[in-house]
Amino acid sequence: MARKLKVVHYFRSYGHNGGGVETHIQTLCASLKGKVSSSIICDRQARLPVFEKRPEADIYRVEPGRDAGRILTKTYDLLVNEYLREKSRARILEKLDCDVLHVHGPLSYSGTVVSGPAFYPFYGMQAWKKARCPKVMTFHGLPESVLKEKYPSPLFFPFFDLWKGIERKNVADSKKVICVDKYVYEEMRSRKIEAQKFEFIPNGIDTRAFRKTKQQAAVARVESKFGIDLGSPDAVFSCVNRLGKDKGTDHVLRMAPKLEGDFKFIFAGEGPFRKQVEALCKNDSRFVFLGNVSLDDVPAIISASDYAVNPAVHQGALRSNIEAISCHVPVIAYNIGDRYPVEENKTGYLCDDEEKMAGTINAAARGTLQRPDGFDANCNRVATQFDIANISKRVLGVYKDCA
């Protein structure tokens, strides 16, 4: 029997907040379990062990730990502790002696998006860059694009654009670069930097978990698990995502007073807007907050809904959109960039602005929103295209080419 490839995934956090990249790594490792021996290097965060053996991979968390805090605390931590963390990462990488190092980026010395450009001079001190094995890097979006949408003042743009230099270095230090979003792939190819290195492979989902389910059964599971009563509203909406500005949580908070009718709107996730979301749910019983949820609970929350609302304001396919469509739940999203697989009148509804989104949600609550044409067939097509079983085969091909 051929020896399994040893692959180490390199990302800032794992097993803490259930973000999109974490979910992608978990799903990919689980899908390749029979062919790849997977390990994950990440930062140690509060209440998580230094080493953890999970079904999908062995988890190595580096110290000193990196925990949430105020800006001054985070800055001090980066200046004092990041060097120690890099030394710890280097020791683990040497110990694991992998065939392929899969880095999830774009990545700078600080490991954070906002502060990344400020640490550009320290780029060469990163442990992953010095590893002797071949490196595959996945670009999960472009930081400069996300930051410009999150902080639209042109005064910040020169600072954000420093990420382009970091990305160029990321490409140079990697044998292959996987782009999960079409806009990223096209943008990187347009920069005329080693085009042969790039592969467009979207994120995959486990279609055994994210599949068409009877809404009544899903509602019963959600009510039982979270101790809530959704009642019998005219429509149920869900927004399962990080509660942040780039995810458009503030848009929903602003839209809330304009939403009409008998409905339930389920929030699930964690992030900076948690307190505002909790306050909204306390003051208006039509809104329900479940907090941070496990990946196992997400399919039921989506399937308990009539519509998935995704007000994210950055480009990209967005994992949460793919998950909803695979569950045969139409998506209400902003018409920004390449929103495929959300397609108007096929798998969902694309809104040009906040007013249009509020109007679409109100129409859905009234029962006047027309169902997309050939909806179930379109959902089946999307599920097949993004099935992790198919996606992971392509990623494994990249590993083999590099190793």
Cα–Cα distance between 312 and 247 in angstroms, integer? 4
Q: Tell whether the torsion through CA atoms of 364, 315, 159 and 274 is positive or negative.
A: positive
CATH 3.40.50.2000 for domain 5-204+387-402, yes or no, is yes
Q: What kind of architecture, by CATH, is found in domain 215-386?
A: 3-Layer(aba) Sandwich (3.40)
Cα–Cα distance between 191 and 168 in angstroms, integer? 9
Look at residue 45 in the predicted model and tell me its pLDDT.
Answer: 85
Cα–Cα distance between 47 and 32 in angstroms, integer? 28
Cα–Cα distance between 59 and 38 in angstroms, integer? 9
Look at residue 36 in the predicted model and tell me its pLDDT.
Answer: 96
Look at residue 381 in the predicted model and tell me its pLDDT.
Answer: 97
Q: Given the DSSP bridges, would you call strands 287-289 and 263-268 parallel, antiparallel or unpaired? A: parallel
Look at residue 28 in the predicted model and tell me its pLDDT.
Answer: 96
Cα–Cα distance between 318 and 339 in angstroms, integer? 8
User: Domain residues of the chain, as ranges?
Assistant: 5-204+387-402, 215-386
Look at residue 16 in the predicted model and tell me its pLDDT.
Answer: 62
Pull the structure tokens for residue 201: 């492979």
Look at residue 89 in the predicted model and tell me its pLDDT.
Answer: 96
Give, as one character, the DSSP assignment of residue 55: S
Judge residue 92's burial from the number of C-beta atoms within 10 Å of its C-beta, 0-12 exposed, 13-18 middle, 19 or more buried.
middle
pLDDT along the chain (403 residues), means of 10: 87 77 93 95 89 95 82 83 94 96 95 89 94 96 89 93 96 96 92 90 94 97 96 96 90 97 95 96 97 93 98 84 97 90 95 97 96 95 96 97 93
3-state class (DSSP) for residue 303: helix
3-state class (DSSP) for residue 65: coil
Look at residue 387 in the predicted model and tell me its pLDDT.
Answer: 97
Amino acid letter at 74? K
Say whether 215-386 and 5-204+387-402 share the same fold: yes
